Structure 1
């Protein structure tokens, strides 16, 4: 029984990592209606920025998030304004553009680092929390709490603030939102900036856990896509709970079935959900078609 609960805790904490990376990706898709292939690379850039802040500026990685996240927000604004906004009427070209950004960021960092792996010293990843005989990684607990707090804060932002209500209006019907006086292009900028800032938060909090490499973004984006579709396209709660589901499936499948098949198992479940309910577990029926209808 103790083994079961340890696996359960491990799965929940792993799911917190997936949730943290996926929330920004899902927010961007819900409003801008593009699949941002570069989201994993945004996380990677934030991890390297955190490493620089920690090793060269002496800033604790958990404090560096307050510097990295605003910088990533501004970076997201620049990417949306200079790359994606000119392609606003060409949704397929926007997707290809994000894939091009993926290659650009990955190879640029590869050229700068020469492929050398970096890791944060200081024993952050060795801190463990023990309760009732169950042990959990301290840094993963921090990530889980951060993912939970961000999901709650983002839902409150969307429900209670005027910019949040504008984002919800654009999600539901961008043409009607435009007729009601909402600046859709500005909403796109804000949303993409927020999504990129969330990638910055994820990168800063994940930097003490993983060894940094230019290819690390690919480790996150594959799972993030599955989480987004599984939880529900454009749904913040869906991204949060979808991440937890994927993390639990991966942990239990890795222990009880085969570690080599743990990702294959949740991809099988992901495909099954996609076939039965294309909008995801918590998504609105038809949400996956809105972008196509509005562009036609």
Structure 2
């Protein structure tokens, strides 16, 4: 039964990891840029949600649309002013820019909010319930439910809307997309903005059970890259599957190893994937 509890916890964590990481995979799949600042947009999402809660009393889960909109606009401006300039540049230039953006975002938030840890207080924070012998934490369940809804919304957007189809067409062949009349530069801006907004939404859903500080993104960087490498870099569906796998591995590992070694296990998984199956479990066709 302990295994079932760990599997349940791992699935709920994995769904959240999936929505956090999908944005990173989307940005690479469309723009071809590995965004090393992606985790800092999770931190931005947490701070935007915390600000909405602090000033307006808005629950982080209910404030997801506002959080996503704010970070979408920030992402759009960053893509237009910075990212778009290095799309044709050598990979090293892309790395330097996104690493510089990571440092800038972290220090900008440090300047505005300070270094103190912040948290929210919500009515369901300490609640939970039992299903048989399984215990389900209310904050984790709400975060998982929100993550599933967001992932479903992204799938509908990418598969049904004109903009979603334009994004998929551009990711497959940008030259052919131009010939079809698609404004590729606008698609790049849209994809980047959606990608960072999704990661920010992931930050919002975990805020009810986590504290936020300017350095919180660093806790998720290796996790996000493990997820997208596991699912196949650029594969949006693979990021969700990778998130579930990582969540389960992380949860089950606590049955054998101390909690402090969770990240070590992730490092081993990450290195193993790069060494033996670098295309990921779900290679993009």
Q: Same fold (TM over 0.5)?
A: yes
Partner of 1:70: 69
**Corresponding residue pairs, total:** 284
Cα distance change, pair 62–259 in 1 and its aligned pair in 2 (3 A): closer
CA deviation after TM superposition for structure 1 residue 123, in Å: 4.6
Match of 1:55 in 2: 54
Long gaps (5+) in structure 2: none
1:12-63, Cα deviation, whole Å (9 max, x unpaired): 1221221121011111111011111111111111111111111111222222
Paired with 2:115 and 2:227, the residues of 1 have a C-alpha distance of 29
The reply on whether 1:23 has 2:45 as its aligned counterpart is: no
CA contact (8 A) 1:119 1:207 kept: yes
Aligned CA distance change for structure 1 residues 58 and 152 (closer, same or farther; 3 Å) = closer
Q: Distance in 2 between matches of 1:149 and 1:120?
A: 22
Q: What SS does the aligned partner of 1:278 have?
A: coil
What are the within-5 Å matches in structure 2 for residues 74-223 of structure 1?
74-90=73-89, 91-223=91-223
1:199 Cα deviation (Å)? Answer: 1.9
Find the residue that maps to 1:207 and give its secondary structure: helix
CA contact (8 A) 2:33 2:94 kept: yes
Q: Residue 233 of structure 1: SS of its match in structure 2? A: coil
Gaps of 5+ in 1: 286-296
- CA distance in 1 between counterparts of 2:269 and 2:42 reads 26
Distance 1:259 1:203, change over 3 A: closer
2: CA distance, partners of 1:58 / 1:257: 39
The CA deviation at 1:253 is 1.3
- In structure 1, how many angstroms separate the alpha carbons of the residues matched to 2:52 and 2:158? 31
CA contact (8 A) 2:125 2:138 kept: yes
- Counterpart CA distance in 2 for 1:59 and 1:150 is 19
**How many angstroms apart in 2 are the aligned matches of 1:86 and 1:119?**
37
Deviation at 1:188, TM superposition (A): 0.2
Please list every run of at least 4 consecutive aligned residues from structure 1 whose deviation after the TM superposition is greater than 6 angstroms. Answer: none
* Cα deviation, residue 265, structure 1: 2.2
User: Are 1:267 and 2:267 counterparts?
Assistant: yes
